[in-house]
């Protein structure tokens, strides 16, 4: 008998995409914003029951505590605001591919951490390079060796969003640019950085949504996993 592709949960409000791991290589990730701790816990529990490792993003600290009451093995990363669960006895994921996660300034760290946590969940090795924004131009060059072998780079930057363009000129691999809402005034909640990145003159720069650390990490992760099998 064929297993249904979707699994309704919690009084009909959630329809779990049970087929995603087969179709896309990774289970569904729970976007925590606007979901109650109980709903998040229920989804993660369902994933555990299916033998999947679960990841939830955008989880506030108090919600994480309530999730831990139901799923004691849940691990919370307060900076990234992520929760992860793994079936008991599950082996660590084998590392597949290397991704550099780079920030322009210290205020970009939470978004970068969300990307890094996502990559770790996907099994990618992660190199972190922090606070190398373009106003101190030598800082980036001093760290270039750290990118050389990367299969993909995630660049997290707010304000003028120039870092991906500059970094893109140094490397051959794909660069996933994540604009952040860091800044003030005419940064328009990150739109200035976003527009700057979309208009990048570097050919290898693709862009995701403002503060979208998860998506930036996920894209770099699937690119690296495919490249890593070389």
User: Which range binds its own copies by CB under 8 A, 45-53, 65-73, 87-95, 208-216?
Assistant: 208-216
Q: Count the residues of the shown chain that bind its own copies, applying the rule CB under 8 A.
A: 95
Contacting residue, 66, 125, 139, 146, with its own copies by CB under 8 A:
139
Nearer to its own copies, 5 or 73 (CB): 5
Indicate the SS3 state at residue 151.
coil
Task: Give every CB contact of residue 20 below 8 A, 6+ residues apart in sequence.
Answer: 26, 27, 28
Contacting residue, 17, 60, 78, 149, with its own copies by CB under 8 A:
17
Contacting residue, 1, 23, 49, 91, with its own copies by CB under 8 A:
23
Q: CA 159, 187, 56: angle at the middle one, nearest 5?
A: 75
Residue 89: CB minimum distance to its own copies, A: 26
- For residue 201, what are its two tokens? 């003159």
Closest listed residue to residue 172, CA positions, set 127, 203, 213: 203
Nearer to its own copies, 70 or 143 (CB): 143
- Per rule CB under 8 A, is residue 31 in the interface with its own copies? yes
Give the β-pairing of 30-31 and 54-57.
parallel
Residue 88: CB minimum distance to its own copies, A: 26
Contacting residue, 45, 93, 134, 145, with its own copies by CB under 8 A:
134
Radius of gyration of the chain (CA): 18
Nearer to its own copies, 73 or 209 (CB): 209
User: Which range binds its own copies by CB under 8 A, 13-21, 44-52, 65-73, 80-88?
Assistant: 13-21
- What is the distance between the alpha carbons of residues 230 and 80, in angstroms, rounded to a whole number? 31
- Per rule CB under 8 A, is residue 127 in the interface with its own copies? no
Site mask, its own copies, residues 34-73, x = CB under 8 A?
A: xx---x----------------------------------
Nearer to its own copies, 33 or 89 (CB): 33
Task: Give every CB contact of residue 188 below 8 A, 6+ residues apart in sequence.
Answer: none
Residue 190: CB minimum distance to its own copies, A: 6
Torsion sign over Cα 134, 135, 137, 141 = negative
Considering only residues 75-114, where is the footprint of its own copies by CB under 8 A?
104-107, 109
The order of strands in the sheet holding 54-57 is: 30-31, 54-57, 82-85, 75-77
Task: Give every CB contact of residue 92 below 8 A, 6+ residues apart in sequence.
Answer: none
């Amino acid at each position: 008998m064929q297993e249904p592709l979707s699994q309704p949960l919690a009084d009909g409000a959630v329809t779990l995409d049970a087929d995603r791991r087969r179709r896309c290589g990774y289970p569904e990730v729970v976007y925590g914003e606007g979901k109650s701790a109980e709903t998040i816990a229920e989804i993660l529990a369902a994933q555990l029951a299916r033998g999947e490792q679960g990841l939830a993003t955008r989880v506030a600290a108090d919600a994480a505590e309530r999730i831990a009451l139901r799923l004691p093995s849940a691990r919370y990363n307060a900076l990234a605001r992520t929760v992860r669960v793994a079936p008991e006895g599950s082996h660590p994921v084998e590392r597949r591919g290397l991704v550099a996660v780079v920030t322009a300034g210290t205020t970009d760290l939470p978004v970068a951490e969300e990307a890094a946590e996502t990559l770790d969940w996907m099994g990618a090795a992660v190199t972190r390079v922090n606070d190398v924004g373009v106003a101190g131009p030598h800082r980036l060059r001093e760290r270039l060796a750290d990118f050389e072998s990367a299969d993909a780079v995630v660049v997290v930057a707010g304000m003028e969003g120039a870092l991906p363009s500059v970094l893109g000129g140094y490397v051959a691999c794909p660069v996933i640019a994540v604009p952040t809402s860091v800044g003030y005034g005419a940064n328009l909640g990150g739109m200035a950085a976003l527009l700057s990145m979309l208009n990048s003159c570097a050919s290898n720069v693709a862009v995701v949504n403002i503060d979208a650390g998860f998506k930036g990490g996920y894209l770099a992760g699937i690119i690296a996993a495919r490249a890593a099998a070389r």
